[in-house]
Structure 1
């Protein structure tokens, strides 16, 4: 009698366990790879931590030697130093001759500023006023900032660069003053004209420092709308009141340079 041929599907069904077994082995291999990777990373972290701690505890001592208690009678104990910084010594007032020399140097600076801004001065846009103790450089806000803003125009950097060219290499104190008109402003950044005028003065100070003027020579002050030079009921007057003024002192002490 002829043996009945086993169907092909039965053979496939009997060998399906090999597929499951291969999948299991693959997953098991992947599991061990992940576990090995994690253990390697932790080992590296522990190694870094160990080296750091060793470096800290084995580093050479940097503190001063402690003072021994009970010094010998013949030796005087070192005096304890005060941690409060001693204020700088008050400088002697400049003599009349020194003041005349600094006033002459101040006039030289005024002449240089007038030369740098010659065209704008002739147009009546910028003004330079001088005395024995001060130079007052008056710049309208329109040359430096947009309306209600304290971000400098692109062209403002060229103007400040000209000012810095005159200021660099000298020690004169400089006070930058910001002014506005009486138009109210109330934004998240500038709740009032106080903040706006102060921010504009500070922006000019930052630009001067960027151009190489020493920051210890500089101060920024905002007056808001309360120091007008013209009436605020006309467009022309409000335009004149919106300004930034640089006061260049004959003296070097910025805190003492109060007009």
Structure 2
């Protein structure tokens, strides 16, 4: 009887580890269930939230929404402010920053061109679409020449450095009066006006303006702003116009007349 009782106790002791093992497995299973419940995300609601934010910043075309995520362990509510209001606010700030940057560019150009502005040889104007710098040819070139001279070359170099820190397209146009020219270098006013515009574009490029932003156009006598019948009128017609195009819809390679096709009522 003693020997049989001893065998029974030994058998019971050998199987006690299964109880602890079962408890451990149960706890491990519970742990992973809790972890899954915490990390579970409603994918449909997440995609809806993502689409709403993207749409708000793109065009502000969606309506206010309240999204709810539900899990076994926790509930949370995410309230979204009116996306249209957010989009309008972002656009408003962007436009304000753009206008401030354009104003700084205009002031910098006026400061660089001040010596020529004071003598009446340069006029700087600005509208919604461009900053226009109009320079009398007598301030830049000798008669029948296309290379900027003396102080004017230094001033244009400063203008080029200012434009190098900007990112708008730049168009340079050369204009002449109706008096014909015929030299070995310039058989007509077309070649002379184009060469003058090209020399300024080259100077801007040397100052750091990327070539892709630049274009040179020769207009000859085709765009007079004054009467060519008088010496004073012809002097006004001989000029160079530098246009910094602020409207992105107008590429720098588009002729100036193309601006009239843009809806300026916007």
TM range (shorter): 0.5 to 0.7
Aligned to 1:194: 190
Q: Which has the higher contact order (CA 8 A, sep 6+)?
A: 1
Deviation at 1:246, TM superposition (A): 0.3
Structure 2: distance between partners of 1:111 and 1:200: 25
Aligned to 2:171: 175
Structure 2: distance between partners of 1:153 and 1:236: 22
Structure 2: distance between partners of 1:107 and 1:132: 12
Among 148, 152, 164, the residue aligned to 2:148: 152
The answer to whether the aligner puts 1:119 opposite 2:121 as a matched pair is no
Q: Secondary structure at the match of 1:138?
A: strand
The answer (yes or no) to whether the contact 1:103–1:250 under 8 Å persists in 2 is no
The structure-2 alpha-carbon separation of the partners of 1:183 and 1:130, relative to structure 1 and needing over 3 Å to count, comes to: same
Gaps of 5+ in 1: 1-91
Q: Select the structure that is richer in strand.
A: 2
Gaps of 5+ in 2: 1-57, 59-87, 260-266
Structure 2: distance between partners of 1:205 and 1:146: 18
The answer to whether the aligner puts 1:254 opposite 2:252 as a matched pair is yes
- How far does the alpha carbon of each residue in 1:216-237 deviate from its partner, in whole angstroms, 9 at most, with x for none? 1100001100101111111111
The answer (yes or no) to whether the contact 1:103–1:133 under 8 Å persists in 2 is no
Aligned CA-pair RMSD: 2.4
Aligned to 2:157: 161
TM-score normalised per structure 1? 0.59
The answer (yes or no) to whether the contact 1:251–1:257 under 8 Å persists in 2 is no
The structure-2 alpha-carbon separation of the partners of 1:256 and 1:239, relative to structure 1 and needing over 3 Å to count, comes to: closer
Match runs of 1:15-26 below 5 Å = none
Deviation at 1:251, TM superposition (A): 4.3
Q: Select the structure that is richer in helix.
A: 2
Structure 1: distance between partners of 2:122 and 2:207: 21
The answer (yes or no) to whether the contact 1:135–1:249 under 8 Å persists in 2 is yes
